Amino acid sequence: MNSTILSEKEVRNRLRRFSSDIGYIILDEKLSIDGLDKKLNSLYETPYSDIAYMNICDDSISDGSCRKLIVYESDILKHILLFKYSEKARHITILNYYFRISLQDVEYLRDMIFDEYEKIQKITFPGVFLDKVKKSPLMVLYEQNTDKIIELPESIDIYMKSLGASTRKNIQLYQNRIAKQIPDFKTSVHEGENISRDHVAKLVELNRSRMKSKGKTSGNSDADIEIFYRYARIRGVLCLCTVNENIIGGTINFVFDEHAYFRVIAHDNAYNRYRAGQIALVVTIQNMIERKMKYFHLMWGEEEYKYRFLGKPYTMYDVMVFRTYPAFFLNRILFGIRSLMKTARERLEKNATLKKLYRKIRNL
């Protein structure tokens, strides 16, 4: 669908006043704002609000297939939220996410959407970081993943001195060990067009093997290889560990102006005693500091190394807001039923006898 592109000046001229300081406009699928992708990246600095990444993950999402809620505060661009709308829908889910927002902003964004669409009873802001967490009328907060974020200092020396004594000692031990025992070991950093699909596929393969050896299942699928590769060519930074030019470990990361995102870490199990993955992580952190990054997102997962490397936990929330109390209470009832059913299924899966009985009943 082709969109008419409005200049920022044209958008400003169409703003509706929400308050003396705040103005907003909702552009339908036929209208867009000039430089939308760059504006989203500047506001939020996350892949999950980047149109390029969203299009790679889901071809149905593009700057011409969804509506845009654009908000200015004191003439400064404050928010751009993407969403889809249909006449039959009673629920809107915001498409871009993984950014920080205040509850006050959620409340006025809610009022703007409800004012525009009378049939909408519920709005979901998925996976956001809240400045403050508190109860609010007609609002529900569901805890989701916990990101581990390293606040990067100005130099690698400052960072290393901030680590625990045992972590510093171990890093030095593994670096010295691999340099002494495997002279052909090297680390390198690749970005943009210098990243090959083989680089990405090999790191995902090593990650899967590593997780399997620990009795766990990797969250990286075959589809992720293509997604990581295509997006890495745009915003990727790969740190590779090699021996005789063979990849034995490394990391896959995505970078913005001040925020970097850590997506894959891996190393060959044959090099466990050298902690090649940990060495790759140190090289990655050093590279991010050299790029003047301020925040390195180690993403979700409760791996112990994320805390040792100074990742601080920040909880992400799905924020749901409702128009009326009946809609609010109905959602709570349905959520409770779904939770009970999920618990029952989990118990059923753990009980072999009940599981067999359940299968027999289904086959009657």
- Give the phi and the psi of residue 260 in degrees, each rounded to 5: -125, 150
Q: Tell me, yes or no, whether 86 and 106 share the same domain.
A: yes
- Tell me, yes or no, whether 161 lies in a domain: yes
- Tell me, yes or no, whether 173 lies in a domain: yes
The DSSP symbol for 302 reads -
Q: Tell me, yes or no, whether 222 and 123 share the same domain.
A: no
- CATH number, position 128: 3.40.630
Q: Tell me, yes or no, whether 129 and 10 share the same domain.
A: yes
pTM of the model: 0.88
Q: Tell me, yes or no, whether 136 and 159 share the same domain.
A: no
Q: Tell me, yes or no, whether 193 and 118 share the same domain.
A: no
Domain ranges, residue 138? 4-144+316-338
| pLDDT for res 203 | 95
- Tell me, yes or no, whether 197 lies in a domain: yes
Q: Tell me, yes or no, whether 197 and 254 share the same domain.
A: yes
Q: CA dist 79 to 51, 71, 170, 342, Å?
A: 15, 5, 44, 36
- Tell me, yes or no, whether 25 lies in a domain: yes
CA distance 111 to 134: 19
- Tell me, yes or no, whether 157 lies in a domain: yes
- Tell me, yes or no, whether 108 lies in a domain: yes
- Tell me, yes or no, whether 8 lies in a domain: yes
| pLDDT for res 88 | 86
Burial 239-271 (b: 16+ CB within 10 A, else e): bbbbbeeebbbbbbbbbbeebbbbbbbbbbeeb
Q: Tell me, yes or no, whether 138 and 198 share the same domain.
A: no
Q: Tell me, yes or no, whether 158 and 194 share the same domain.
A: yes
Q: Tell me, yes or no, whether 69 and 172 share the same domain.
A: no
> pLDDT tens, position by position, for the chain (364 residues)?
567 999 999 999 999 999 999 999 999 999 999 999 999 999 999 999 999 999 998 876 777 889 999 999 998 999 999 999 988 889 999 999 999 999 999 999 999 999 999 999 999 999 999 988 877 889 999 898 899 999 999 999 999 999 999 999 999 999 999 999 999 999 999 999 999 999 999 999 999 988 888 888 888 888 899 999 999 999 999 999 999 999 999 999 999 999 999 999 998 888 888 888 899 999 999 999 999 999 999 998 888 999 999 999 999 999 999 999 888 888 778 766 766 776 666 566 666 665 565 555 555 4
Domain boundary among 261, 293, 325: 293
| pLDDT for res 97 | 94
Q: Tell me, yes or no, whether 187 and 61 share the same domain.
A: no
| pLDDT for res 139 | 92
Report helix, strand or coil for 344.
helix
**Apex CA 69: angle with CA 117 and CA 64, to 5°?**
100
Q: Tell me, yes or no, whether 120 and 218 share the same domain.
A: no
| pLDDT for res 63 | 73
- Tell me, yes or no, whether 309 lies in a domain: no
Q: Tell me, yes or no, whether 86 and 174 share the same domain.
A: no
- CATH number, position 229: 3.40.630.30
The total number of structural domains in the chain stands at 2
